Structure 1
Amino acid sequence: MIETLARQIPTISTYKEIVHVTKGFSTDNKFLIKMGDGDKKLFLRLFNLEELESKKQEFQILEKMKEYQILCSEPISIGEIEDYGYMITSYIEGKDAEVEIPKLSYEEQYNIGFEAGMELKKMHQYKAPNHIPSWYSRKVKKHQRYLDKYYKCGIKVKNDDKIIKFIEENIPLMKQRPNLFQHDDLTLGNLIVNNNQFAGVIDFNRYDWGDPIHEFLKIGIFSRGVSIPFSRGQIKGYFDNHEPDESFWRLYSLYLAMCVFSTVIWTLETIPENLDDMLDKVYTFLEDHDYFSEIKPKWYI
């Protein structure tokens, strides 16, 4: 079927080989397209037609990222054919950073993180459209929904009362935060490395708008468990090799604290078989912060 569709999409009609890509949680059907003209490679996503409008918005995001000279997949074409929508982007040569980075030296891991932080900073030039409600109003509502579900779910996180108190004391800090573009899934699994160097960012389909500091909670949950040098590098790269101030760490800790409850509920609702693994990650960052007695994590000090 895919070969038939490929012949009907002008951009890839001269393909040489099609490889199905199964990595990731996306419901898209993903394919690496090796073209007949030289070594050129493209990336094809097939999706249900009802997703076409949201995919067009994602395509526009990629166009904006290209304007900002972000190292990421370049948008090439989007449309519909038969019963499917499709999006074609350039292919970033390299390997999954999550797999490759533990094999590298401390300096190489740090440098990849540093460049990832610089790219993230460039993304945050993009301001939210005027119709997007404030970050504070959206985030508070979402947090309350998760907290309400948490109280009913039957899972209890150790010292949850202490975590909730920390959130209540610091949640007003969100009121004046900017409403900017968020990749919202900047983990090592969405970065590509090539020849031991940073090559680019992928998977913009979970983008959102809000406080740019919220992006960094992925470090506390995921990246620090794979590579502390990368995690330190990402923060230093974002801040132009300067140390972030207390307001950064307080917001970073606030978002991690809120994430305790959203992680429990999201996991129960989406991948309940992974609950133990996700709780391990939660307890790791809780211990990093001594249950938020400290706003700067132990691994950074």
Structure 2
Amino acid sequence: MNLNSKSISKIEKIEKGWSLDEKYYVEDEHLGKLLLRISEHTSYERKQQEFTLMKLVGLQDVRMSTPLEFWKEEDKLSALYTWCDGDELGEVVSDFSESLQYKLGYIAGDYLYKIHSIPINKRLDWKQLYGRKAKKKIEMYRMYDIPFEGAEDFIGYIEKNFDLLEHRDTSFLHGDYHVGNMIVSSDNNLSIIDFDRFDYGDPWEDFNRIVWSAQRSPAFACGQIHGYFKQEPPELFFQLLAFYMAVNAIGAIPWAVAFGDVQVLMKQAHDVLMWYDHMNTIIPSWYQKIEDFQ
């Protein structure tokens, strides 16, 4: 397969998102609608791995931006994918009925379970690896000296619960799984995009971005959890979800000072704090049981 400039009828740069890749929407007379991602050659090994893993995801019956071709040219890497027609789910999910929000969340949860089922030859000391990461985020928060009422509630919960990280399984992770990286078509089919933050670790850590989904649609967030477990989750899941969301909230604040929107992420941290009653409960206030949606 070759992307020939002579057969390209349209190409537009995509400015949305926080990825370091350059992204382009392409229309080709022979290949149809495509996504072209261009990255630095220094990331060759990781980008090749991302492309290969995405092919494996596609074999799991997950609707997605399917990888087509990967190549190196001079000092750039290029990867070509199918285009997912539709709207970013985060922008439209609140327009849908609660039952459709829940249904789409359930599908997203089922997809995530399939992503985590891909066999990998890795075994991590998760307590050591993620524990070090969590401690570093706490250090960064304190180093930046950013006032956030309730920060010590997050930190206290994290520091008391490092033992939750013991004996966790290792799986392939999407790394940024939320409604902003999902596309919904006009006939309500869901597709997953943007695997460039993929990682390996405790599969339940992939729920740490559910905060973005729950802010827009609690029904979707509940559906995602139910679609993943197909039953009520164990208590350990909720304990770890609270842990990962606390780490994410603390870590996002100094990150936002350097790279992102401080007010958005401060608001998000505040929401997490309220959902967990200042970390006095392990079940977020938006969560509803499966029976509540039947």
TM-score normalised by structure 2 residue count: 0.92
Contact 1:115 1:198 in 2 (8 A): no
Where do residues 72-91 of structure 1 align in structure 2 (5 Å cutoff)? Answer: 72-91=64-83
Partner of 1:203: 194
Flag structure 2 segments of 5+ consecutive residues without an equivalent.
Answer: 289-294
Q: Root-mean-square deviation (CA), in Å?
A: 1.8
> One-letter code of the match for 2:19?
S
Matched, 1:214 2:214: no
Matched, 1:178 2:204: no
Match of 2:115 among 112, 119, 123: 123
Per-residue deviation at 1:51?
2.2
Counterpart secondary structure, 1:156? coil
Seen in structure 2, the aligned counterparts of structure 1 residues 290 and 32 have a Cα distance that, compared at 3 Å, is same
Per-residue deviation at 1:127?
4.2
Q: Deviations over 1:121-178 (max 9, x none)?
A: 0001124433x63222211111111112222211133233333232222210111111
Q: Distance in 2 between matches of 1:142 and 1:180?
A: 18
Q: What is the identity percentage for the equivalent residue pairs of Structure 1 and Structure 2? A: 28
Seen in structure 2, the aligned counterparts of structure 1 residues 142 and 128 have a Cα distance that, compared at 3 Å, is farther
Match of 1:257 among 246, 250, 253: 246
Q: Distance in 2 between matches of 1:95 and 1:182?
A: 24
> One-letter code of the match for 1:62?
M
Q: Distance in 1 between matches of 2:152 and 2:120?
A: 34
Matched, 1:30 2:23: yes
Partner of 1:246: 235
Counterpart secondary structure, 1:158? coil
Contact 2:36 2:81 in 1 (8 A): yes
Flag structure 1 segments of 5+ consecutive residues without an equivalent.
Answer: 1-8
Q: Distance in 2 between matches of 1:236 and 1:12?
A: 44
Seen in structure 2, the aligned counterparts of structure 1 residues 84 and 160 have a Cα distance that, compared at 3 Å, is closer
Q: Deviations over 1:99-131 (max 9, x none)?
A: 12121111111111110110000001124433x
Contact 1:104 1:196 in 2 (8 A): no
Q: Distance in 1 between matches of 2:14 and 2:151?
A: 40
TM-score normalised by structure 1 residue count: 0.90
Partner of 1:4: none
Counterpart secondary structure, 2:72? strand
Matched, 1:278 2:271: no
Partner of 2:89: 97
Number of residue pairs matched by the alignment? 287
Counterpart secondary structure, 1:89? strand
Matched, 1:140 2:131: yes
Q: Distance in 1 between matches of 2:201 and 2:75?
A: 34
Seen in structure 2, the aligned counterparts of structure 1 residues 58 and 230 have a Cα distance that, compared at 3 Å, is same
Q: Distance in 2 between matches of 1:295 and 1:123?
A: 26
> One-letter code of the match for 1:279?
M
Partner of 2:104: 112
Partner of 2:36: 44
Q: Deviations over 1:44-84 (max 9, x none)?
A: 11222222222111111111112222211211111122442
Contact 1:128 1:209 in 2 (8 A): no
Q: Distance in 2 between matches of 1:122 and 1:238?
A: 9
